[in-house]
Structures are given as C-alpha cells and as structure tokens.
C-alpha cells in the first residue's frame, strides 16, 4: 500500500511542484482545495492537480462555513491581533486543517501536507489544528525541507516533469486572500519605511481615488449575526460579506499597514485589506456597547479582544479556551440585535446612527432638556463617596509635601 497524503493545494507553483515532489518520495497524493473566497478560478484546479500527479483532487466551497464558524466568532470577540489585524489568513487555517483531517479519514490517509514555510505562522496553525483533531495524523511541510532555493529552480523542475504552471510575470508580493480579507507581504513591502505601491492592493482603491461623495450603509444584526445590508436580507452571510467588501472597497476602507510580531520571533511588515470586516467590526462594536451594561462591556473590552486575537493568531483555535470565550461572546451576542448606520468616505468608516430593541440608552436619563428624569441631587453624595480616596490622598500630600 502506498503512503497516502492529503495536500492543501492552491494550484500555485509551490503546491503544484509539491504534488510531484511528494509522489517521488513515495506518496500517493490527493489534493484538497477550499474555496474560501480567494477569488481564483477554481474550475481548472482538478485538471491541474491531476496533471501534476495527483490521484484525486477535491475542491470544496466552504465560504459559508468559513464566515459562520470562524469569522463571526472572531467578530463577536472584536479580536484584532495587536489591535489592528482582523486575522484573515489566520482564520482559514483551522478550517482547512479540519477538512484535511476529514478527508484523511475518508481516504484512509495517514498524512496531510501543507505549503507553508518554516518562518511563518501558518505552519503552526496547520499543525496544531491537525494534532488537536487527530494526533495520529502526520503533518508534512515539504517547503521546510526540500532542495529548491529559488523560484527558478522550481520552474525548472516543473518544466522537466511537465507540471502545468502559468509562468506569468511574477508580482513581487506574497498574497493570501479570502473573503474576510487580503494579506500582502514581501517585495518592496519588506522595507517598513517604503510606502506600499498601489499594485500591492487587491480589493480596495486608494482613499485618494475613492469617490468624492460619501456612501451610507445600514447593517442589521440578529443575535450577534449580521443579517441585512441596506435593508436587504441575506441568509447566506458570505454573500453579505462579499457585497460589503465591494462597497467598502471602492471607498478605500479597511487598509492596514503594520509591523507585527510573528510567532517565530520575527517582526514582519504586513499590509492588509479587510473592507467588509472593518465595517462589520465598527458596527458590531457600536451595537455591543449599546446593549451591554457598563460592567459587562468594560469586562469584555479588558479581557476578550486581545486574548482572543492572540489565540487565533497563535494556532490555538481547537482548544477549550476558544470554546469558552465563544460561549461568553455568544451570550453577549444574543443581545446584539438592531441596526447601525455608517458612512464610508475616502478610507474612513464612521458610525452615524444605531438602534436596538435591547438598547440600554434611556433618553430621559441622558437628556439635558425638561424631560430630564435623572436625580441630580444624587450626584452630590455619589461624587462625595466616589471621590473620598482622592480627598484622603490630597490631605496626605498636604501633610507630607
């Protein structure tokens, strides 16, 4: 029996060469390609994989599952790595890993393989996810050990073995795209002082080239799930995200340029585009703050976004910790029903209105008009007691200057 491996396959040069390389090492290769909204034409994938030597090629549309099971929980946690990165690439890895394990079982394969390098985060996410789901499956990462040093050597190898590769004029970037956003690195971006060239961007226009007029969007949520855009209902959330990406993208919303801390200790310059996710985060935060009391909202802000983002970034998706945090944020998400009105304009997204049946905003308490129902006399004693420690401090510094 040949050793069988399920390979996470993109159809690019690396993974095409990998099919052949694994075959030469004695493996029977089955490729797995997930449609996570990467925008590539996937209809030619099976033919291409087989021409490279795969015995079977699976292509699966997982867009809805990706958004519902991975992006939405992360949205409900308002998780942004180092306060900025909406974890687009990080989120697809656990899903792809889960699928690799499923197909490994189905096809009785003892191995799965991925195309990540030895200095990135993705190797960690793939491997930890697979181990958590099935520790008996061995994960192979050919890029970490094969002999190719340069792209040219791979092209040479591909030609020699008649592996179909499109030798287009290579853009200098490494791009990972899915419907939650795009990650761009390498080439001129490796100099953190260099402004990202316009051709690096895939799904947003530059704010300078965005329309002169702002555009309003209204997002509707039901129990923590985005369900409508400008009054139109969606039962497939990934469609809503796709539509929102194109609306916000044409206003230049959601570009992020940062130097981040990778798991392996390197600082790396990354450019991201997440137009839809940026609008969704802004809207979700707005509603969450409207429907949660101060104690809960502050607890959430101090404990969840940063911790959840780290967990996703660091490959810990399949852990009880993530499930427990999801339980917490889903409980709060149950309150997140309502609408948020936002304005998109030249790279910015601004909330201009919000409403919810679960709103804790009471106009009679907030108003400065004659409708005011707040007991102003309570303010005096409240301030006296709340401020007592400061009075005591003040007395001490007068005593011991």
Distance (Å, whole) CA 350 – CA 41: 34
| 178 interacts with ligand ARG by CB under 6 A | no
| Percent of residues in the chain assigned helix, strand, coil, to nearest 5 | 45, 20, 35
Given the rule CB under 6 A, which of 52-60, 175-183, 202-210, 318-326 is the region that contacts ligand ARG?
175-183
Answer for which of 174, 206, 261, 383 binds ligand ARG (CB under 6 A) is 174
Q: How far is the CB of 257 from ligand ARG (least distance, A)?
A: 13
Judged by CB under 6 A, does residue 176 bind ligand ARG? yes
Q: Cα–Cα distance between 14 and 120 in angstroms, integer?
A: 15
Look-up of token digits 């990706």: 66
- Nearest-angstrom CA–CA distance, 264 and 126: 15
Q: Is 117 in the site for ligand ARG (CB under 6 A)?
A: no
What part of residues 213-272 is at the interface with ligand ARG (CB under 6 A)?
270
Q: Decide whether 176 or 273 has the Cβ nearer to ligand ARG.
A: 176
- Candidates 216, 208, 203, 210; CA nearest to 350 is 216
- Contact characters 323-342, ligand ARG, x per CB under 6 A: --------------------
Question: Phi, psi (5° rounding) for residue 96?
Answer: -65, -40
Cβ-contact 22, 29 below 8 angstroms: yes
375 tagged catalytic: no
Q: Which stretch binds ligand ARG (CB under 6 A): 59-67, 168-176, 324-332, 376-384?
A: 168-176
The tokens for 270 are: 């990354």
Binding test (CB under 6 A) with ligand ARG, winner from 92, 121, 129, 356 = 121
| Closest CB 27 distance from ligand ARG, rounded Å | 25
Which of 28, 185, 273, 286 binds ligand ARG (CB under 6 A)? It is: 185
* 2 Cβ neighbours under 8 A, 6+ residues apart: 26, 27, 28
Other Cβ atoms within 10 Å of 387 Cβ, number: 11
Does residue 14 have an active-site annotation? yes
CA dist., res. 274 & res. 255, Å (int): 7
* Binding segment toward ligand ARG, per CB under 6 A, in 50-58, 170-178, 331-339, 343-351: 170-178
Q: Report, in Å, the least distance between residue 89 CB and ligand ARG.
A: 4
Q: Of these residues, 14, 92, 183, 268, which one is catalytic?
A: 14
Q: Which is nearer to ligand ARG, 59 or 175 (CB)?
A: 175
Residues 6+ apart with CB under 8 A from 31: 6, 7, 9, 15, 19, 45, 49, 54, 56, 57, 58
Q: Does 286 bind ligand ARG (CB under 6 A)?
A: no
Please give the residue ranges that form the binding site for ligand ARG (CB under 6 A).
89-90, 121, 174-176, 183, 185, 270
Q: Please identify every residue annotated as catalytic.
A: 14, 93, 122, 174
């Amino acid at each position: 029996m040949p050793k069988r491996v399920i390979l996470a396959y993109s159809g690019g040069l690396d993974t095409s060469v990998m099919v052949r390389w694994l075959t030469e090492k004695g493996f029977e290769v089955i490729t797995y390609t997930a449609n996570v909204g990467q925008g590539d034409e996937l209809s030619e994938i099976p033919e291409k994989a087989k021409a490279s030597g795969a015995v079977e090629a699976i292509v699966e549309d997982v867009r809805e599952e990706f958004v519902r099971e991975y992006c939405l929980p992360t949205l409900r946690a308002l998780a942004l790595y180092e306060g900025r990165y909406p974890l687009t690439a990080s989120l697809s890895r656990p899903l792809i890993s889960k699928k690799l394990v499923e197909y490994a079982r189905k096809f009785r394969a003892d191995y799965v393989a991925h195309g990540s390098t030895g200095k990135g985060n993705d190797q960690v996410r793939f491997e930890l996810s697979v181990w958590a789901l099935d520790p008996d499956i061995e994960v192979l990462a050919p890029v970490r050990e094969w002999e190719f040093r340069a792209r040219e050597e791979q092209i040479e190898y591909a030609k020699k073995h008649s592996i179909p590769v499109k030798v287009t004029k290579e853009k200098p970037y490494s791009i990972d795209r899915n419907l939650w956003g795009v990650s761009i690195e390498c080439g001129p971006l490796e100099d953190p002082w260099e402004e990202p060239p316009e051709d690096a961007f895939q799904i947003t226009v530059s704010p300078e080239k965005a329309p002169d007029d702002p555009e309003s969007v209204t997002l509707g949520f039901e129990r923590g799930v985005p369900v409508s855009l400008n009054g139109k209902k969606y039962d497939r959330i990934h469609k809503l995200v796709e539509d929102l990406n194109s609306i916000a993208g044409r206003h230049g919303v959601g570009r992020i340029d940062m130097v981040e801390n990778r798991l392996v200790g390197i600082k790396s310059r990354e450019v991201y585009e997440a137009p839809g996710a940026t609008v969704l985060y802004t809207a979700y935060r707005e509603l969450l703050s409207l429907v949660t009391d101060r104690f809960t909202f502050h607890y959430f802000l101090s404990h969840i976004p940063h911790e959840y983002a780290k967990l996703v970034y660091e490959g810990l998706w399949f852990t009880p910790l993530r499930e427990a945090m999801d339980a917490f944020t889903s409980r709060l998400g149950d309150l997140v029903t309502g609408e948020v009105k936002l304005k998109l304009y030249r790279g910015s997204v601004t909330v201009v209105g919000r409403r919810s049946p679960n709103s804790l905003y009471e106009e009679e308490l907030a108003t400065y008009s004659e409708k005011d129902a707040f007991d102003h006399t309570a303010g005096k004693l409240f301030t006296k007691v709340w401020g007592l420690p400061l009075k005591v401090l003040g007395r001490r510094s007068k005593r011991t200057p």
